[in-house]
Amino acid sequence: MNKLLEFQKKVGVIKKGSVNPFYKSKYADINGVLDEIKPILNELGLVLTQPLEVRDGKNILATYLKEDDKTLLESAIVLPENPDPQKIGSAITYYRRYSLQAMLSLEAEDDDAESAKPKVRNFTAEASKLMDLNALTNWYNSLTPDEQKQAKSVAKNRKEEIKELDKTPFGKTG
């Protein structure tokens, strides 16, 4: 395990160099992961293999980390059954990448931490755009019960503002 410790000390953060157009997110593709880890593994005399195997009648992606003839780490995952070669090829690539990341405790750069945070709605800004009581009521009713709890005082204050606006010489706002 000393060589695995040396590997973990030397490997850096894996850069997310590919873009998933469907989810508009970045990820580290299999080639990017291998580009980062193979030189360090080679320097330490470690060999990584990811053969396809059959175990108990199931197609398996195995991942081995070896030193000489000794297996230091092994991981295996059952591949999904799919007759479409392109889809199974995509699944294999996907599982290869995640097997490596899990087995070697690889870290990916955190470029999307902001998108993982829950969105905080600005109820004051939303309500301030509404110029009549009907629009304000519809907006408030469209909120979830939790959002309504958060927006209650904002809606109440906005309702009072709209009532005051309706009394101005400019007439009704709605």
pLDDT at 2 over 50: yes
Query: DSSP label at 50?
Result: -
pLDDT at 143 over 60: yes
Against a cut of 0.75, is the pTM above it? no
Span 45-64, average pLDDT: 95
Query: Rounded CA gap, 63 and 68, in Å?
Result: 16
| pLDDT of amino acid 113 | 44
How many residues does the structure list for the chain?
174
Higher pLDDT, 39 or 11: 39
Span 24-28, average pLDDT: 72
pLDDT at 114 over 60: no
Report the amino acid identity of residue 94.
Y
pLDDT at 138 over 80: yes
The encoded tokens of residue 81 equal 């059954």
Q: Is there a contact between 15 and 109 (Cβ–Cβ < 8 Å)?
A: yes
| pLDDT of amino acid 161 | 84
Query: Rounded CA gap, 70 and 68, in Å?
Result: 6
Query: Rounded CA gap, 119 and 148, in Å?
Result: 16
What does pLDDT average to over the chain? 84
| pLDDT of amino acid 51 | 97
| pLDDT of amino acid 171 | 54
Query: Rounded CA gap, 126 and 71, in Å?
Result: 60
In the three-class reduction of DSSP (H, G, I as helix; E, B as strand; rest coil), residue 121 is classed as coil
CA distances (Å), 164 to each of 36, 42, 131, 133, in order? 64, 75, 11, 11
Q: Is there a contact between 105 and 5 (Cβ–Cβ < 8 Å)?
A: no
pLDDT bracket for residue 5 (50, 70, 90): confident
Higher pLDDT, 173 or 49: 49
pLDDT at 69 over 80: yes
Share of the chain above pLDDT 90, in %: 29
pLDDT bracket for residue 112 (50, 70, 90): very low
